[in-house]
Amino acid sequence: MSTFQLGDLTINRMGYGAMQLAGAHAFGQPKNREEALAVLREAVESGVNHIDTSDFYGPHITNQLIREALHPYRDGLTIVTKVGAVRGADASWLPAQSPEELEAAVHDNLRNLGLDVLDVVNMRLMFDVMGPAEGDIEAHITALAGLQQRGLIRHIGLSNATARQVQQARGIADIVCVQNQYNLVYRQDDAFIDQLAGQGIAYVPFFPLGGFSPLQSSILAEVAAELDATPMQTALAWLLQRAPNILLIPGTSSRVHLRQNLAAGKLVLPEQAVRRLNNVITSV
């Protein structure tokens, strides 16, 4: 498994995203609690050393499951979390971006994960909940940098961010990763990914399999069948080959899917398959 450096942390490029462990829409209790705990344990036993989470999944429930399944955490396991939102009683995602709210969120994550320091905290920007939008983030990053100086955070990342916001943030603190929506059929960040690669910053696509609307494409299905792989494995392998700074965090609540996703780390796509998959975007 190839790796990437997140600051001083060495991360296997195939990780795991924990959002799907909470109930529907990342809200409430999981539909199968024992399976959720088993997925987490098997992921780490299989070599995953990068788990993506947030205290606003559940809320609190996903982090509590991670703690129950995996604490005390093995050396080398990196848990990446994010701050910047809270959940409404109706499962809505509400901005919580003031310095006081960010500090409270860091403490929520520390408490529910059972940690003294968070490895990586992504600032989840909410100028537009649905996608990156310009806006001044000096106050946000200054607040996180203050928490970093107090020893509560090791590294800072950005989520739902633009290139300009990354540039602004880097004037205040080191930025180790960007987590935006990206997959085979949603490729708004193509140029941004390459720019970040040049800066040594990891790009962590969320919804790598399409998220709440799983990827569907006849080209993807055909290429996968020719490679004797599933469409989801093929979509993950395409991302791994897309750029060296891409780290994967596919989400699943099932050990069967977890095994398939981890196996995609070994799937090598021939050049011709990559070319066909590159064209999926123009055919959907």
Residue 211 identity = G
**Residues 51-80 interacting with ligand NAP (rule: CB under 6 A):** 52
**Residues 137-176 interacting with ligand NAP (rule: CB under 6 A):** 159-160
Q: What is the CA radius of gyration of the chain?
A: 18
* Minimum distance of ligand NAP from residue 153's CB (angstroms): 17
260 binds ligand NAP (CB under 6 A): yes
* Minimum distance of ligand NAP from residue 54's CB (angstroms): 7
CA angle 173, 175, 176 (to 5 degrees): 145
Active site residue 186: no
Which part of the chain contacts ligand NAP (CB under 6 A), choosing from 13-21, 28-36, 96-104, 144-152?
13-21
Torsion of CA 203, 82, 143, 11, to 10 degrees: -50
Which part of the chain contacts ligand NAP (CB under 6 A), choosing from 191-199, 237-245, 248-256, 275-283?
248-256
Binding mask 79-108 for ligand NAP (x = CB under 6 A): ---x--------------------------
163 three-class SS: helix
Among 49, 165, 168, 261, binds ligand NAP (CB under 6 A): 261
78-83 and 118-124 as β-strands: parallel, antiparallel, unpaired?
A: parallel
Contact 56, 63 (CB under 8 A): no
214 binds ligand NAP (CB under 6 A): yes
Residues at the site binding ligand NAP, with contacts judged by CB under 6 A: 17-20, 52, 82, 124, 159-160, 179, 206-211, 214, 232, 249-254, 257, 260-261
**Residues with catalytic roles:** 57
